[in-house]
Amino acid sequence: MRERYETLLVEAQADKLLLVTLNRPQVSNAINTQMGHDLLDLFTSLVADPDQARCIVITGAGNKAFCGGGDLKERNGMTDAQWLVQHALFERGFRMILDCPIPIVAAVNGHAFAGGLELTLACDFTYASTAARFALTEVTLGIMPGGTGTQTLPRIVGERRAKEIILTGKPFSAEQAHAWGIVNKLCEPDKTLDDALEVGHTICANAPLSVRQAKQSIHHGLQMDLRTGTYFEIEAYNRLVPTQDRLEGVRAYNEKRKPNFIGR
């Protein structure tokens, strides 16, 4: 993980919480080629070395937009070959976000359209401003969701609702997103990031290996039938038995004190 990125602000908070801010507010934090490279580099590093953080919060700079999707001004006039090369970069970034073992919370402070909504869907859960708006607008532009949206959205809202959202391309409100399970918590506009950071710190206080194993068990178990998933769960569970954190957690409980988890 680099110290500085051209399109991202990456700030290490207390308790190994990592705040990642999409930092192109002048264009609704739209994803251009450079942001694609920055996101891919950041999450490739975090996947390779998850001890760098215990939780990640992603938000957008400013108070109007979380992310407006792909940068259409940059894309205007691209050849087919250039478009495909750029999109391959975006695809790798989204897959790295999905593969990240560290919990990721989206703090949606404004509209999240197209790739911006897909980014929130790739996170583990989302807190959103009551003023936020959401949409997958790709079919209105002659393309379709290609940042995992046709796969993540149906798994969250169900097939029929996902078809309505994707095939119409119509925006919907934060309240609708909450009712459909896209958003976990609605926040006052000036409290969205604070609320997301608060839950991030709560996650950071828990045993990091336990959190990562539980996340992977949920994520991969949903791709399996129930019986196979239960076996996968036990494999994940058994990896925690010989850890120092398991011993510390039980010891701290019996000594009536807060545990000191070290991720080992």
Name the band, by pLDDT with cuts 50, 70 and 90, for residue 48: very high
Q: Which CATH number fits domain 208-254: 1.10.150.20, 1.10.12.10, 3.30.2320.80, 3.40.50.300?
A: 1.10.12.10
pLDDT band, residue 1 (cuts 50/70/90): confident
Q: Which residues is 17 bridged to in the sheet?
A: 55
pLDDT digits (tens, 9 = 90+) for 56-107: 999 999 989 999 999 999 999 999 999 999 999 999 999 999 999 999 999 9
pLDDT at 31 over 90: yes
Active site residues: 118, 138
Residue ranges covered by each domain of the chain:
8-204, 208-254
Q: Give the Å distances, CA to CA, from 122 to 104, 207, 225, 253.
A: 9, 23, 22, 34
The torsion angle over the Cα atoms of residues 94, 98, 100 and 102, rounded to 10 degrees, is 120
Identical topology for domains 8-204 and 208-254: no
118 has pLDDT over 90:
yes
Q: Which helix (DSSP H) or strand (DSSP E) does residue 17 occupy?
A: strand 17-22
CATH fold for domain 8-204: 2-enoyl-CoA Hydratase; Chain A, domain 1 (3.90.226)
